[in-house]
């Protein structure tokens, strides 16, 4: 990599000075090179494949230093040593050892072995948005004066620092001219500099760099697309970057943003999504608001922010803080991926505060559950990824929710096409906690519930961040323009239906009262711990087993095969003040003496159940499967006994906004994170199932993603299509009694593929603005997936639009199903955008119940379907319903024609010779380029933006594997409680 120059103590480096110089080779292959403005480079001759110039990105070898290029701030300086040949600038010989400043339009040439090599300084792009090209002129009199003054200052400084100032004075005959209509040729003659308006900084001394500063640590901007090396520190002048000549007007290999618009705000009503603004596409967001949005625009005005929450996969925190000018004392929480920390068993490893300059910035590494690890062993880890891209901006009067496909790194905001959806929500006059628990039937009002549930799942084990739940209750999300679609890793069961409860947990006694459906909030699936110790260890175990069997014989099982149990607070147990016992008794004539205690709630559940019950905010009741409990008590199985915890509003729920305190935030956050909700495929089905989509009117069903999973097959595609609302038009092969009747099944998918997958061809990637290098860790399609599905004809080329974006990679995850109106009105349908790639890891793999042919597995496994999800993901679905079918007034503003997709529609189907940009295809293309260019191709394999984990090792999860055994720490916890319960009971008898 190139070496950053040391900072001058009197002129500290500022992010505003960062930019890129574009150098164009002179010769038959006019390759475009980019030099970052805080690096030191050198030029030398290469004998590989004949004499030619090469660029050394890291000038460690003194023998190779012929010409030295130093870039710092807005300065580009050239120096050479004797014996280099005959270097010249604009035809004037360059004196050995004399530094010369280069301006836009300057031409440098070197004579070597009778052949002249060289380059032209084509343009300079500053991260502040100032761009000067060889064909540009000052736009106004004022700008011309500023440009000319800056040029004059630089020229005078160069003269004062020169070893031979008289020769430079002779070369500057026009130095006194202040003509504002200065063109590039005049700039070249007068040495007009780069015309940068940022704070000028003194160029670093090359001598200081040569005295040992080349090992200066890499700064925090490593995610900028840089001039990298392939190990030996050199890059050829002939095309190693892969930037095409016809894309020269698009500085797509630079990372400086042409227009940041720090002082401009942006607005969206949530009815559509936008694209990020790319560097060098030539669009002007001031003239065309939909041409692109920048990250600073989304955060503007930064000074009014109260707090910021971000969820991302990869991140460059330093770049974000500098680029968006984040105040040092603004509370910022960033949930991000870290393979080791997210799989760690210790909650202490899941946070970090690495920035002393920003003391209120906290990094959170959300937990991957043990149940999705290989062999349910956290040490073996598994296929999992924290992959959402969410930004929540809180202000006193509003909260902005941003759902994007871009990670928090500069390249994805500057060089790669990504989608951005956002909407502002007003502040309420009073807190509304009911909105955090709104039922799924009221989908237009469940935006807050979905948002708070997703955030809670990420910060659940970080008590200091639990207050975020309370902050969301301050804002009104009723007018949300879309439906949030979240995925959270785990093996999820469908939420059980409402069950009427007779007994509720209370701090002092068990409340006997009939539950009301309108008070029901949700359910949590947990377990009973300590049951094996209770019935296997005591001397009276036989007596307890007989009593347990008798109670279960009298109990009434409901239609779901469960029966209610009694939950009791144990306030007199020193080991855990939050302990909750689970009792079995005759519910019609309940007395505590005439009951059998099964065990306890797990510690991690009891720590939030107890305080929320004690406060009166929530009521809790429990149900178990009697047969499962009996088998565990008799030792037939050693798996956990399931307990379904039902939650309803407590007597103080209506007063919660006035009674809640900081100590309630962590348990409330845990409750919200634990509530069973529809996720992944099930959530998509929940959102889209309310509308009966007319199959015969379908015109498009497409999905464009940057990653397609290894385990994609017709079964998963059918599951996704069914969840998306697709139904067979005529199904004569099945009867209405068939569970799959009316659903889109694998058989339907095999007969007629339902969806078109958009993925770029390898030829399109090769022709991109930055070639294959920028896509190698951005696109993911395993070769075996392509070979398995190529005959289905579902693959289509992903051609970016608008036209200015052709050549720039796409990182979008967009799906759309469109229908034509039979009445000649507007089209209708739905559109998804967000972070979900097309893979079971993101959307979830449906797991079927075990076969009845294996009764032991069927008995030990939970009944009903399950969904195995590996990743944290978040997206938004925008619905334009058929005419007259909208249930919500806010949907009336949606028009599917108003959603401009970032790719050409209809997408062209792969031709016979087309091949997608699979990992193998890209590796082969890179290897081919190495051969053609003499092994001088840079390697960006360590500079990763996306790097979606491979699914090649993904194991097929059997439903029987979902039954978990009691952990050792749970056994110790239960045994401790049992000992203290027995001791207290014996003392009471005495």
How many angstroms separate the CA atoms of 456 and 673, rounded? 5
The pLDDT, as a whole number, for residue 98 is 74
In words, the CATH class of domain 515-677 is alpha beta
The pLDDT of residue 154: 59
Residue 342: CA count within 13 A, CB half-sphere: 26
Q: Is 725 helix (H, G, I), strand (E, B) or coil?
A: coil
Percent of the chain whose predicted confidence (pLDDT) is above 70: 66
- Place 844 in a pLDDT band, splitting at 50, 70 and 90: very high
Q: Specify the pLDDT at position 204.
A: 31
Nearest CA to 258 out of 143, 127, 121, 408 is that of 127
Q: What is the mean pLDDT of residues 350-379?
A: 90
Name the class of domain 274-280+290-427+475-481. alpha beta
Maximal CA-CA distance, the chain = 111
**Residue 195 and residue 148: Cα distance in Å, rounded?**
8
Q: Which of 93-97, 203-207, 678-682 is modeled with the greatest confidence? A: 678-682
What are the start-end ranges of the H helices in 73-230? 141-161, 165-171, 184-190, 206-210
pLDDT for the residue numbered 137 = 36
Angle at 295 between CA 291 and CA 299, to 5 degrees: 120
Positive or negative, the Cα torsion across 161, 167, 169, 172? Answer: negative
Residues tagged in the binding site annotation for substrate: 389, 813
Token digits for 559?
């239609």
**Which residue's structure tokens are 């080779």?**
25
Whether 811 is a known active-site residue: answer yes
Q: Nearest-CA neighbor of 239 among 489, 55, 440?
A: 55
- d(C-alpha 549, C-alpha 547), whole Å: 5
Beta-bridged to residue 655, according to DSSP, are: none
- Phi and psi angles of residue 683, each rounded to the nearest 5 degrees, phi first: -70, -40
How, if at all, do strands 332-335 and 361-364 pair? parallel
Q: What pLDDT, on the 0 to 100 scale, is given for residue 704?
A: 97
Coil, helix or strand at residue 52: strand
Quote the CA–CA distance of 136 and 123 in Å, as a whole number: 9
Q: Name the pLDDT band for 150 (thresholds 50, 70, 90).
A: low
**What is the Cα–Cα distance from 51 to 642, expressed in whole angstroms?**
75
pLDDT reading at 381 higher than 90: no
Nearest CA-CA partner of 812 in 833, 840, 794: 833
The token pair at 939 is 């390697």
In the chain, list all ranges with CATH 3.30.870.10. Answer: 274-280+290-427+475-481, 682-728+743-848+865-932
Cα–Cα distance, 520 to 708 (Å, whole number)? 39
pTM over 0.75: no
Closest CA to 522 of 690, 671, 657: 671
In 724-793, alpha helices (H):
746-751, 762-766, 783-789
Q: Are 876 and 421 in contact (CB under 8 A)?
A: yes
332 bridge partner residues: 308, 361
Confidence of residue 1 (pLDDT cuts 50, 70, 90): very low
What average pLDDT does the segment 220-227 reach?
30
Which residues make up the CATH 3.30.70.2330 domain(s) of the chain? Answer: 515-677
pLDDT band per the 50, 70, 90 thresholds, residue 773: confident
Kindly report, residue by residue over 437-448, the tens digit of the pLDDT. 876 445 557 999
Containing H/E element for 485? strand 483-487
Q: At what angle do helices 714-723 and 680-688 cross, to 10 degrees?
A: 40
Give residue 164's pLDDT: 62
Q: Looking at the predicted structure, is the pLDDT value of residue 105 above 90?
A: no
Q: What is the pLDDT of residue 842?
A: 96
Q: Which of 71, 85, 58, 27 is nearest to 239 (CA)?
A: 27
Q: How confident is the model at residue 689 (pLDDT cuts 50, 70, 90)?
A: confident
The class (CATH top level) of 682-728+743-848+865-932 is alpha beta
Which two three-digit tokens encode residue 256?
Answer: 């400086």
Q: What is the distance between the alpha carbons of residues 943 and 939, in angstroms, rounded to a whole number?
A: 9
Average pLDDT across the chain, whole number: 75
- The predicted pLDDT at position 520 comes to 87
Angle formed at CA 734 by CA 729 and CA 737, multiple of 5 degrees:
115
DSSP H or E segment with residue 536: helix 531-536
Phi, psi torsion values for 447, nearest 5 degrees: -60, -45
Contact between 153 and 202 under an 8 Å Cβ cutoff? The reply is no
- Taking the C-alpha atoms of residue 937 and residue 64, their distance in angstroms, rounded to an integer, is 19
Q: CB count, 10 Å around CB of 785?
A: 20
Give the mean pLDDT of 797-807.
90
Structure tokens of 243? Answer: 């930037």
Higher pLDDT, 439 or 392: 392
Q: Please pick, among 811, 836, 868, 894, the residue that the annotation labels catalytic.
A: 811
Give dist(CA 389, CA 510) in Å, integer.
Answer: 44
Mean pLDDT throughout 203-218? 29
**Burial category of 282 from C-beta neighbours within 10 Å (exposed 0-12, middle 13-18, buried 19 and up):** exposed
Residue of 22, 224, 300, 387 with catalytic role: 387
CATH number of 19-128: 2.60.200
Reading the block at residue 879, the tokens are 């619905």
Mean pLDDT, residues 314-326 taken together? 94
Per-residue confidence (pLDDT) for residue 352, from 0 to 100: 93
Most confident of 208-212, 313-317, 506-510, 726-730: 313-317
SS3 call for 872: strand
Ranges 347-356, 482-491, 563-572, 854-863, most confident: 482-491
* More confidently predicted of 712 and 194: 712
Give residue 400's pLDDT band: very low, low, confident or very high (50, 70, 90).
very high
pLDDT at 92: 77
- Please tell me the distance from the alpha carbon of residue 636 to that of residue 252, in angstroms, as a whole number: 65
* pLDDT (average), residues 134-160: 52
CA 247/CA 67 separation, integer angstroms: 28
In this structure, of 244-258, 405-419, 490-504, the range with the lowest mean pLDDT score is: 244-258
Question: 599 with 548: CB under 8 angstroms?
Answer: no
Q: What string of DSSP letters covers 945-979?
A: S--PPP-TTPPPPPGGGG--BPPHHHHHHHHHHHH
**What pLDDT score was predicted for residue 254?**
35
CA 56 to CA 58: how far, in whole Å?
5
- Res. 633 pLDDT band, cuts 50 70 90: confident
Check whether 812 has a pLDDT greater than 70: yes
* Residue pLDDT, tens place only, 914-969: 999 999 999 998 888 766 554 444 444 444 445 454 444 344 444 444 556 667 78
* Higher local confidence (pLDDT), 190 or 835: 835
Please say if 888 is a catalytic residue.
no
How many CB atoms sit inside 10 A of residue 279's CB? 27
d(CA 715, CA 395): 45
301 cis-preceded (ω within 30 degrees of 0): yes
Question: pLDDT-based confidence at 512, cuts 50/70/90?
Answer: low
pLDDT band at 632 (very low <50, low <70, confident <90, very high): confident
> Using 50, 70 and 90 to split pLDDT, how confident is the model at 169?
low
Q: Looking at residue 977, what is its pLDDT? A: 85
CA pair distance 718, 350, nearest whole angstrom: 37
Q: 110-119, 197-206, 398-407, 413-422 — which is least confidently predicted?
A: 197-206
Q: Cα separations (Å) of 210 from 42, 55, 206, 908, 933? A: 12, 17, 6, 55, 30
Residue pair 769/243 in contact (Cβ under 8 Å)? The answer is yes
Tokens representing residue 631 in the block = 């088998």
CA 797 to chain centre: 24
pLDDT of residue 181: 35
């Amino acid at each position: 990599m190139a070496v950053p120059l040391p900072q001058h103590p009197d002129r500290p480096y500022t992010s505003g000075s960062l930019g890129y110089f574009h150098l164009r080779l002179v010769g038959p292959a006019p390759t475009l090179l980019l030099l970052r403005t805080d690096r030191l480079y050198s030029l030398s001759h290469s004998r590989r494949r004949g004499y030619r110039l090469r660029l050394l990105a890291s000038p460690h070898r003194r023998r190779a230093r012929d010409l030295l290029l130093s870039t710092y701030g807005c300065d580009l300086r050239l120096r050479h040593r004797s014996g280099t040949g005959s270097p010249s600038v604009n035809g004037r010989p360059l004196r050995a050892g004399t530094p010369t400043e280069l301006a836009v339009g300057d031409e440098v040439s070197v004579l070597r072995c009778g052949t002249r090599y060289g380059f032209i300084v084509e343009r300079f792009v500053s991260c502040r948005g100032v761009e000067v090209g060889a064909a540009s002129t000052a736009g106004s009199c004022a700008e011309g004066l500023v440009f000319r003054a800056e040029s004059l200052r630089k020229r005078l400084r160069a003269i004062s620092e020169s070893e031979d100032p008289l020769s430079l004075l002779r070369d500057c005959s026009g130095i006194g001219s202040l003509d504002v209509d200065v063109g590039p040729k005049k700039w070249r003659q007068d040495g007009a500099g780069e015309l940068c308006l940022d704070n000028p900084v003194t160029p670093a001394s090359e001598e200081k760099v040569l005295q040992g500063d080349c090992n200066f640590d890499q700064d925090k901007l490593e995610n900028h697309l840089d001039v990298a090396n392939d190990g030996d520190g050199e890059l050829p002048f002939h095309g190693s970057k892969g930037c095409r000549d016809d894309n020269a007007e698009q500085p797509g290999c630079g990372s400086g943003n042409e227009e940041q618009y720090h002082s401009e705000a942006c607005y969206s009503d949530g009815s559509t999504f936008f694209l990020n603004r790319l560097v060098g596409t030539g669009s002007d967001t001031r003239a065309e608001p939909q041409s692109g949005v920048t990250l600073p625009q989304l955060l503007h005005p930064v000074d009014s922010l109260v707090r910021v929450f971000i969820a991302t996969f990869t991140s460059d925190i330093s770049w974000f803080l500098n680029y968006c000018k984040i105040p040092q004392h603004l509370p910022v929480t960033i949930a991000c991926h870290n393979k080791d920390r997210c799989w760690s068993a210790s909650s202490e490893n899941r946070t970090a505060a690495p920035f002393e300059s920003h003391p209120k910035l906290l990094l959170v590494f959300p937990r991957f559950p043990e149940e999705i690890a290989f062999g349910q062993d956290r040490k073996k880890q598994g296929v999992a990824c924290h992959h959402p891209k969410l930004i929540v901006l809180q202000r006193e009067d509003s909260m902005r929710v941003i759902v994007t496909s871009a990670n928090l790194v500069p390249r994805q905001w500057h060089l790669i096409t990504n989608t951005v959806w956002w909407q502002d929500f007003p502040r309420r006059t009073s807190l509304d906690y009911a909105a955090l628990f709104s039922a799924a039937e009221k989908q237009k009002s469940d935006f807050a519930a979905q948002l708070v549930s997703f955030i809670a799942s990420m910060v659940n084990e970080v008590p200091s961040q639990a207050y975020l739940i309370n902050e969301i209750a301050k804002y009104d999300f009723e007018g949300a323009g879309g439906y949030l679609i979240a995925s959270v890793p785990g093996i999820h069961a469908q939420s059980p239906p409402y069950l009427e409860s007779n007994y509720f947990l209370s701090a002092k006694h068990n409340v006997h009262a009939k539950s009301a459906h309108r008070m029901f909030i949700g359910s949590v699936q947990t377990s009973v711990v300590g049951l094996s110790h209770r019935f296997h260890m005591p001397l009276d175990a036989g007596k307890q087993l007989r009593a347990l069997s008798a109670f279960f014989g009298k109990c009434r099982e409901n239609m779901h095969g469960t029966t209610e149990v009694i939950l009791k607070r144990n306030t007199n147990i020193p080991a855990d003040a939050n302990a909750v016992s689970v009792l079995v008794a005759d519910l019609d004539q309940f007395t505590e003496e005439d009951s059998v205690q099964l065990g306890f709630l797990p510690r991690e559940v009891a720590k939030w159940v107890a305080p929320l019950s004690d406060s009166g905010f929530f009521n809790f009741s429990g149900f178990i499967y009697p047969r499962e409990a009996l088998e565990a008590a008799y030792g037939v199985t050693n798996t956990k006994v399931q307990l379904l915890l039902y939650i309803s509003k407590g007597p103080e729920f209506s007063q919660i906004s006035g009674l809640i305190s900081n100590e309630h935030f962590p348990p409330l956050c845990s409750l919200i994170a634990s509530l069973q909700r529809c996720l992944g495929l099930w959530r998509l089905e929940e959102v889209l199932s309310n509308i009966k989509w007319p199959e015969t009117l379908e015109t498009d069903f497409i999905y464009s993603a940057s990653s397609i999973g290894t385990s994609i097959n017709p079964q998963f595609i059918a599951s996704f299509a069914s969840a998306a609302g697709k139904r067979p038009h005529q199904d004569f092969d099945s009867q209405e009694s068939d569970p799959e009747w009316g659903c889109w099944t694998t058989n339907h998918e095999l007969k007629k593929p339902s969806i078109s997958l958009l993925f770029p061809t390898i030829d399109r990637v090769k022709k991109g603005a930055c070639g294959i290098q920028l896509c190698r860790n951005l696109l993911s399609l395993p070769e075996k997936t392509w070979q398995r599905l190529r005959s289905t004809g579902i693959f289509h080329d992903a051609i970016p639009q608008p036209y200015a974006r052709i050549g720039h990679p796409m990182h979008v995850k967009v799906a759309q199903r469109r229908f034509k109106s039979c009445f000649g009105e507007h089209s209708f349908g739905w559109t998804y955008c967000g972070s979900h790639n097309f893979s079971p890891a993101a959307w979830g793999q449906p797991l079927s119940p075990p076969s009845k042919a294996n009764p032991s597995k069927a008995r030990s496994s939970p009944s009903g379907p399950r969904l195995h999800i590996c990743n944290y993901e978040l997206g938004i679905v925008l619905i334009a319903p058929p005419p007259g079918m909208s249930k919500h007034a806010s949907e009336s503003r949606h028009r599917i024609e108003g959603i401009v997709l970032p790719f050409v529609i209809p997408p062209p189907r792969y031709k016979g010779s087309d091949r997608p940009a699979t990992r193998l295809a890209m590796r082969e293309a890179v290897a081919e380029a190495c051969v053609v260019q003499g092994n001088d191709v840079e390697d960006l394999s360590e500079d990763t933006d996306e790097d979606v984990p491979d699914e090649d090792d993904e194991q097929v999860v059997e439903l029987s594997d979902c039954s978990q055994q009691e952990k050792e720490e749970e056994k110790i916890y239960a045994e401790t409680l049992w000992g203290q319960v027995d001791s207290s009971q014996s003392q009471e008898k005495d």
